[in-house]
């Protein structure tokens, strides 16, 4: 069978968006991510020096049949907004008699994050190098949170410092499930919640792939007034999404979603966290840039939260808050 390869280069912050959009087509699960390599010097001369710094090359394969060209056009239209804002290159198309292996180019991505986490693609061969190392093996084609996006990496760094084995925690907007799996492997009991059905499927896959089914409950739904906000990524109306009432049930909440959702849910975050004599409720928020940091923190301050920790990478920020 012949195969059409669609490829593009993308930035560090947009690779998750690319994979999420591609996965939403349901055309194939074969999405391959490789570190971007510079073209030859002749090509570089012709490049605009203002272009973004490409971090990854994403390849996507379609079987060549009567539907291929239509599907190719749909994918180009789907990704065109990222190209317009400079987060991805135009799609390049090749046709092969057999699907290329290209192990030297499309090798699995292995990312070390923080002191202990190692994020692996589903087919990566890896042997742990340290006793306390925590491996997170994920299928990186289904939803937000591959471990490549700065917001995800910053969240993992904060979770590494703040999760205790006795905690009952909420992962709001679980995406690919990477944060849920990470918290479970650090010993917590986790409720993974997302209002997107693709994300829920992805979280289930990650939980099963990492063998933490006994510690993670996966649900489609939202916290408090979150369902009123529509789909968190695009604002579309969502009907019949279950709601988890905020009733002081969690020791820690992590939410790697948009700033507008954090701001709207600030009262629900307060009500959903519990405080004890020995431990205050902890809230870890990410998914926004420093441009929104003051607005998010101001909304949390009004609900009695104070900043206790922070991680930054370029313009991205993740903040840990505690109830006072």
**Residue entry with tokens 């900043």:** 307
Is residue 223 a contact partner of residue 172, using CB atoms and an 8 Å limit?
yes
Nearest C-alpha neighbor of 261 from the set 283, 238, 228: 228
Q: Kindly report the pTM of this predicted structure.
A: 0.72
Please give the backbone phi and psi of residue 56, each rounded to the nearest 5 degrees, phi first. -140, 150
CATH topology of domain 144-323: Rossmann fold (3.40.50)
Cα–Cα distance, 32 to 223 (Å, whole number) = 33
Nearest C-alpha neighbor of 227 from the set 269, 192, 261: 261
Residue-range domain boundaries for the chain? 3-96, 144-323
Give the pLDDT confidence score for residue 142 in this predicted structure.
40
Is residue 212 a contact partner of residue 147, using CB atoms and an 8 Å limit?
no
**Dihedral, CA of residue 34, residue 38, residue 40 and residue 44, to nearest 10:** 140
Report the Cα 277 to chain-centroid distance in Å: 34
Give the pLDDT confidence score for residue 146 in this predicted structure.
59
Strand partners, 93: 6
Tens digits of pLDDT across the chain (324 residues):
899 999 999 887 677 778 777 877 878 767 788 888 877 544 444 444 445 578 888 888 899 999 999 999 999 998 888 888 788 999 999 998 888 775 444 444 567 889 999 888 766 677 777 788 998 887 754 445 555 678 888 999 999 999 999 899 999 999 889 999 999 999 999 999 998 888 898 899 999 999 999 999 999 988 987 666 655 444 444 556 778 888 989 999 999 988 889 999 999 999 999 988 778 899 999 998 899 999 999 999 999 999 999 999 878 899 999 998
With 0-12 / 13-18 / 19 or more C-beta atoms within 10 angstroms meaning exposed / middle / buried, residue 18 is buried
Cα–Cα distance, 225 to 265 (Å, whole number) = 7
Nearest C-alpha neighbor of 285 from the set 315, 247, 257, 323: 257
Give the pLDDT confidence score for residue 252 in this predicted structure.
97
Burial 265-290 (b: 16+ CB within 10 A, else e): bbebbbbbbbeeeeebbbbbbbbbee
Give the pLDDT confidence score for residue 107 in this predicted structure.
46
CATH topology of domain 3-96: Alpha-Beta Plaits (3.30.70)
Burial 155-165 (b: 16+ CB within 10 A, else e): bbbbbbebbee
Both tokens of 162, joined, read 């703040």
Give me the helices (H) in 139-265, please: 150-162, 178-185, 197-209, 259-264
Cα–Cα distance, 120 to 133 (Å, whole number) = 13
């Amino acid at each position: 069978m012949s195969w059409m390869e669609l490829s593009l280069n993308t930035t560090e912050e947009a690779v998750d968006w690319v994979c999420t959009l591609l996965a939403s087509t349901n055309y194939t699960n074969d999405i391959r991510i490789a570190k971007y390599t510079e073209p030859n010097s002749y090509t570089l001369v012709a490049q605009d020096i203002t272009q973004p710094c490409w971090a990854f090359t994403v390849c996507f394969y379609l079987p060549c049949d009567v539907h291929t060209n239509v599907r190719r056009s749909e994918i180009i239209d789907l990704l065109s907004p990222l190209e317009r804002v400079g987060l991805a290159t135009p799609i390049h198309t090749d046709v092969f008699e057999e699907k290329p292996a290209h192990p030297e180019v499309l090798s699995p991505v292995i990312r070390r994050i923080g002191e202990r986490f190692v994020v692996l693609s589903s087919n990566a061969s890896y042997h742990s190098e340290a006793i306390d190392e925590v491996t997170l093996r994920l299928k990186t084609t289904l939803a937000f949170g591959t471990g490549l996006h700065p917001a995800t990496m910053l969240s993992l760094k904060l979770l590494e410092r703040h999760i205790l084995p006795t905690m009952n925690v909420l992962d709001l907007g679980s995406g690919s499930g990477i944060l849920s799996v990470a918290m479970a492997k650090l010993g917590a009991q986790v409720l993974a919640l997302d209002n997107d059905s693709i994300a829920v499927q992805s979280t289930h896959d990650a939980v099963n792939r990492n063998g933490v089914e006994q510690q993670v409950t996966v649900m489609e739904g939202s916290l408090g007034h979150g369902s009123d906000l529509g789909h968190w990524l695009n604002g579309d109306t969502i009907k019949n999404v279950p709601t988890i009432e905020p009733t002081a049930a969690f020791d820690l909440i992590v939410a790697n979603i948009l700033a507008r959702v954090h701001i709207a849910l600030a009262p629900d975050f307060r009500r959903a966290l519990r405080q004890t004599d020995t431990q205050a409720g902890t809230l870890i928020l990410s998914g926004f840039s420093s441009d929104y940091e003051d607005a998010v923190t101001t909304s949390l301050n009004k609900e009695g939260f104070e900043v206790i920790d922070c991680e930054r990478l370029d313009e991205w920020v993740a903040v840990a808050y505690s109830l006072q």
